[in-house]
Chains A and B, each alone.
Chain A
Amino acid sequence: MQQIINFVLRNKTFLMFMLLFGLSIALTIQNHDYHRSKFLNSANFISGSLFETKFSITQYFGLKKDNELLIEENKNLRSQLLNQTQTEVISTSDSVNISGNYVIYSAQVYKNSYASNNNYLTINKGSKDGISQDFGVFTSKGIIGIIDATTNGYSRVQSILNIKSRINAQIKNSSHIGSLRWNAKSAQIVQMVDVSKFAPVKNGDTIITGGQSTIFPKGILIGVINKINLDPGGDTYSIDVELFNDMTNIGHVYVVENKDSKEIKSLEIDNE
């Protein structure tokens, strides 16, 4: 017993190092796992309110641009509304078709990152505003990501610029589906993989969210096809998609809740 105590005392620096280093590695590994990275994120009370203070100082710098963006969006929505009442048909433009079972919240981005491999955003709405995990996040131009952790007043969004992200997507005019990923190379380009080789793809085609996930409604814009590669197997394409959103400059976002998601998920579990 004496010897064990002596050993610990003699090597206390090394043991402390191993303990703390092991702890950090454990936290890192845990962060690579989607549904477990809930502790220790930037959506906590202290860092959240610090980001809020910073935002309250810096928000004035972008007011003009924000206003222009809102006017542009209002113009699009208004023209859709007018066209709809006059001709009594649903317009076939790149509209976001949101039916009654979706709820939209608006939020403000406090912190955005796009330079690392696992990027997250922090927004100023949390569980007290009705936000919870697995809600979709998008802007008027296209999708941003998925809520992955919430606290009382803030939420963390797992950006599409995150190598863990998998989002269901489809080609707009053919309804062939694929999965949206990111290879951490460029903040403008994401990859759509597992697209059937029978899909009629060409450069410049629009990519939208598919209706298969319970997170996003069908038809939210993502981007346009930039480059098409046939996979080595020869059965599927992997497509480089250029995003409509400038992920490096995001202010206002919308959060969407699918009220049916619980029902759909319970059905899927029953089937298994």
Chain B
Amino acid sequence: MNNLAITKIVSFLLLILAQGLVLNHINFLGYINPFIYILFILTYPTSNNRVLFLFLSFLLGLCVDIFSDSGGVHAAASVFLAYARPPMLKFSFGMLYDHQGIKFNQSEFGSFITYVTIGVVTHHLVLFSLEFFNFSEIIELLKKVVFSSIFTIIVCLITNIIFSRKRR
């Protein structure tokens, strides 16, 4: 048990509690909620055991699902995001990713914003498609994806700035 593992476990539990007890009940403008629990998936160390990472993402999504009574939509979206993460990293950080081991709190802030934006939009698209389960209301779906994404990105970036100690 090293320091990093303990930090990750604590953040896992804290994010679930924050999401289930507080952030699911914000309902800004009636229906917009931020889903910051995906910050766990986004900032998971890059040189990792991918099978374990997928399983942890699934577990995280499932816990959020239990709190919000939504079947398995958060679990599906989290697993999808975890699986689709390497191409996103490659796109946003370029060369850095090829050398393995990006330190998220030491990377360039611009690339980090790109990375979070792509990740959040992908996650929300899967999430709301499964929640609606119905492509006849595609306008409603896209509206929800766009507004919730904006809210989530802002909250994610703020949380990241507050909790990462060293940033260049």
Interface residues of A (CB under 8 A from B): 12-13, 16-17, 20-21, 23-32, 37, 40-42, 44, 47, 50-51, 54, 111-118, 120, 122, 156, 184, 187, 248
Contact = CB atoms under 8 A, between A and B. Distances in A.
28 contacts: A13-B51, A16-B55, A17-B79, A20-B54, A20-B58, A20-B79, A23-B75, A24-B58, A24-B72, A24-B75, A28-B72, A28-B73, A28-B133, A31-B70, A31-B72, A32-B71, A32-B133, A40-B65, A41-B66, A42-B66, A47-B67, A50-B20, A112-B25, A116-B131, A117-B131, A118-B69, A118-B70, A248-B27
A40 B55 contact: no
Interface string B51-65: 100110010011001
B149 interface: no
B31 A27 contact: no
* B contacts with A: majority SS: helix
A21 B76 CA distance: 5
A28 B54 contact: no
Nearest to A115: B31
Interface residues on B, range: 35 or more
Contact of A25 (B30, B32, B50, B76): B76
B83 interface: yes
Interface string B25-54: 101001111000000000000000011001
B50 to A, nearest CB: 5
Contacts of A111: 25
Of A12, A25, A115, A156, chain B has the most CB atoms within 10 Å of the CB of: A115
Given A40-B66, A117-B132, A30 B55 contact: no
A31 B24 CA distance: 19
A87 to B, nearest CB: 45
B130 interface: yes
What are the 4 closest A-B residue pairs judged by CB atoms, nearest first? A31-B71, A27-B72, A24-B76, A24-B72
Contact of A17 (B21, B54, B130): B54
Given A54-B21, A116-B131, A24 B66 contact: no
A116 B32 CA distance: 9
A53 to B, nearest CB: 9
A232 to B, nearest CB: 16
Given A40-B71, A42-B67, 13 more contacts: A13-B50, A16-B54, A17-B79, A17-B83, A20-B54, A24-B76, A115-B27, A115-B30, A116-B31, A118-B131, A122-B69, A156-B69, A248-B27
Contact of A187 (B30, B33, B50): B30
